[in-house]
């Protein structure tokens, strides 16, 4: 009778451990997917700004300069960018004054 009771306790302990592991697993999976859903979606222009400008300096908020100042910076530092990319970048950065 004692052996049967001991087996039952071991079985219950293993079951509780398995349930605990499943709970941890679901929490980890939920955490990973939860972080992905919280990611900020950037527009093409924001991605362009981040890719082209952050390699040399911290990104500056678009509202910090007016459209003419942004145009001057793009003309000065955007020599390797296509005209289309420059226009897209200026529309994003200079659009805050509209």
Whether residue 90 sits in one domain with residue 62: yes
For the segment 34-57, what is each residue's pLDDT rounded down to a tens digit? 555 567 788 999 999 999 888 888
The pLDDT, as a whole number, for residue 56 is 87
pLDDT of residue 72: 96
What is the model's pTM? 0.56
Q: Give the number of residues written for the chain.
A: 98
**Tell me, what CATH number does 89's domain have?**
1.10.760
Locus of tokens 């910090």:
64
Domain of residue 91, residue span: 44-97
Show contacts of 81-88: CB within 8 Å, 24+ apart: 81/52, 85/48, 85/52, 88/44, 88/45, 88/48
Burial of 89 (0-12, 13-18, 19+ CB in 10 A): buried
Alpha-carbon distance of 66 to 75, in angstroms, equals: 14
Based on the structure, what is the number of domains in the chain?
2
């Amino acid at each position: 009778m004692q052996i049967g009771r001991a087996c039952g306790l071991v079985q219950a302990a293993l079951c509780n451990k398995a349930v605990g592991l499943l709970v941890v697993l679901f929490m980890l999976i939920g955490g990973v997917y939860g972080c992905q859903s919280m990611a900020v979606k950037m527009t093409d222009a924001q991605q362009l700004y981040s890719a082209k400008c952050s390699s040399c300096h911290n990104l500056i908020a678009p509202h910090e300069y007016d459209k003419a100042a942004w145009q001057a910076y793009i003309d000065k530092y955007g020599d390797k960018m296509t005209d289309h990319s420059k226009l897209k970048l200026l529309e994003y950065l200079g659009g805050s004054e509209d």
